[in-house]
A and B are shown apart, each in its own frame.
Chain A
Amino acid sequence: MSKQSAEERAIGYWKANISLIGILLAIWAIVSFGLGYLLANPLNGIMIGNVPFPFWMAQQGAIITFVILIFAYAKIMDGIDAKFDVNE
């Protein structure tokens, strides 16, 4: 790390951050707009317990995923902050 200039570090850090955000937002969109809405009609026959899967995703599953996504971001960023030596 020490051989890199501060500028290179900042660029690398920002790239790592952007790719992480991209991955997490893709999951965010898939669980809510994808499984909850766009595929709601074709997937309506699949059941979770006694509840149709799209209904469960749109009213329960996606929200649970959202909470996990935010904590995952915070946790992974702790590591990225430390790796690029920009942590507090």
Chain B
Amino acid sequence: MNFAVDHPAVLLLLPLAFLPFVATVFAASGYPSLTAVPRDRLSFATDIGLHLAGALAIAAIVFGLAGFHRREQPVERIGNGANVVLLFDRSSSMDNSFGNRLPSGSEESKSDAAKRLISDFVTRRPHDRIGVAAFSTSPMPVLPLTSRHDTVKAAVAAIDRPGLAKTDVGRGLVLAMTMFDENAANASRAVVLVSDGAAVIDRRVQATLRSIAARTPLNLYWLFLRTKGSRGIFDPPDPRQPDTPQVNPERHLHLFLSTLGIPYRAFEAGSPQAVEQAIAEIDKQEMRPLAYFERIPRRDLSSLCYAIAAVAVALLALAKLAERGLAERYRPALAPGGKRG
């Protein structure tokens, strides 16, 4: 258990709790000799109990004042989910609609549709740890893997901002595949690449990707937002043109990713509805048991301290009310003796 105080300096008052052992709240009565008092276990226990009550009351108030609390702590639970890295293409073509125009009327731009649907995806998967990366002319780590989905949604909301010129998908994939930390080791890991185009991957980067894929078990999804009229992933190449990565980058990226030796699926989505179906499919695939941490928020225990102190003080006050002086009871009997003295 993780207990802590906010103001440790206040704990310097703790020695005050010894006060009840050297002083008393009860009236002292004179008595000739303590040996004359019969031994009585109940009285003895009451005596100790009242001292302890006083000490407890003082100590509890000091702890309450110091801000005694149980720290926020993660508790491991098992749920369904995955470690997911969302890798976004932030090139400027994402700002067009699926019909490759500037969006007008009720049309959505590709990045708008991706933003809305992926936001929903994040909302539906409360137990996932999600990281975000983006690439354009260069790869950019945006958020490390986190279970704080507010920030993830804020990063997803930023993907429809005006993007940059080029598409360096290879280095983007390298970045996304190396974002999994050791905490993600035992659960399923997935990279979701969201892009509307592809580019030739440098041969050196290809080698890096292969070696990472061999070392890191992960599932790769490519959500390809296909623009009307553009080449698709699965289209057979045009026989009149050479079938090279420069001419058909999408097809060749797909071919390359299929040879990585990791579970890989590509979804080609030509409309917001198709994107929705693809995301639903990923959602279904990535539902495996996952140990995730739920944060139990910090619990303030000062109220508990005050309650304990209140009970102890109430006991003392009751005992005080029940107090009867020796002198009062015996004064009539002693009175003649006094006269005699």
Whether chains A and B associate is no
